[in-house]
Amino acid sequence: MAQMYDHGGGVKSIRVPIPDNPLGHTLVYVVDTDRGPVLVDTGWDDPTSWGTLAEGLAACGTGPGEIHGVVITHHHPDHHGLSGKVRDASGAWIAMHAADAAIVRRTRTTRPDRWFTYMAAKLTAAGAPEDHVAPLRTARRPSTMPGFTPAAPDREIVPGELLDLPGRRLRAIWTPGHTPGHVCLHLEEEHPAQLPGHGRLFSGDHLLPGITPHIGLYEDPDDTTVTDPLGDYLASLERIAALTPAEVLPAHQHTFTDARARVGELLTHHEDRLTDLLTLLATPLTPWQLAERMEWNRPWSQIPYPSRNIAIAEAEAHLRRLGFV
Ligand SMILES: [Zn+2]
Ligand SMILES: [Zn+2]
């Protein structure tokens, strides 16, 4: 039986599993509107996940064919993966911020080998040793890869505006950082249990109760603009705290109430980390060298290959924030 939870006030959630991933599941929210249920995120594109979503919707008294619209917090496959299947089943629209929609368009039109070539050049520039870069040059080049054919959205989520959800007040809050087009969605309605604060916030991956989201680079083979994703993220956190939502409904883990306190913890965490890195950077380091010396959830020697690439992007994001790149 799918795990469905009723949050009250016409909002339910379904725990959709993410296969082989320590995060475990994505919380897909089902928001009732006058025109039918609208989903906030959809989950990973996998038969088991799809089965769980369909069962969960049945437990909510609806089904994939009844969905009116899909609101996507950001383009990552654990959020946007099943959007295409939901649209195929129901004719629902899919809405996404323009910056993430651009990534989806690029992913759909860029051949994987272009991506491997781009990453090999990037890693070399970041100081990665040849034995780390070589596999990208010799990798099997499949014509399709998971996440390389995400569904193209039909609607744009415009920051600051209410979404077209008949009977509901759901406002888009642009929160770049984790991705350039990440949005949180503020349900500007009284909390169903009258908790103090202003409505409820669907926070995607931006604000999670027990983990810090990955802040790397907005990787784009076609754009050489030097962006500052960590700076964007910290500014976006402040923006969310100012909303003072009564409850936060994140896309992973569990709901929580004191958004301002959680934002404070995350800001302190990043401040401390930046201070530590400044000490390390008394000697100039490449992003690779910095990643080797940063604190991760396990020693560098035990970090698997794909996670090392993510770690290097995170090191480079910190170098940019500190003005070293
Ligand atoms: Zn994400
Ligand atoms: Zn996620």
Ligand 2 ion: residues within 5 Å (CB)? 78, 205
Domain boundaries along the sequence of the chain: 4-104+147-267
Strand order in the sheet with 38-40: 4-8, 11-17, 25-31, 38-40, 69-71, 93-97, 155-157
Whether residue 112 has pLDDT greater than 90: no
Ligand 1 ion: residues within 5 Å (CB)? 76, 205
* Mean pLDDT confidence for 229-256: 98
Give the number of the ligand closest to the Cα of residue 41.
2
115 pLDDT tier (thresholds 50, 70, 90): confident
Give the number of the ligand closest to the Cα of residue 21.
2
Ligand 1 centre to CA of 283 (Å) is 33
CA distance to 40, 152, 215, 277, 322, per residue, from 295 (Å): 33, 37, 15, 10, 17
Please report the DSSP string for 259-286 in residue order. HHHHHHHHHHHHHHHHHHHHHHTTS---
Ligand 1 centre to CA of 205 (Å) is 5
Cβ pair 206, 41 in contact under 8 A: no
Work out the number of other CB atoms within 10 angstroms of the CB of residue 128.
23
Q: Residue 26: which of 253, 262, 259, 256 has the closest Cα?
A: 253
Whether residue 143 has pLDDT greater than 80: no
Domain 4-104+147-267 fold: Metallo-beta-lactamase; Chain A (3.60.15)
Ligand 1 centre to CA of 28 (Å) is 13
Whether residue 145 has pLDDT greater than 60: no
Q: Looking at 158-167, 264-273, 299-308, which range is the least confident one? A: 299-308
Whether residue 18 has pLDDT greater than 80: yes
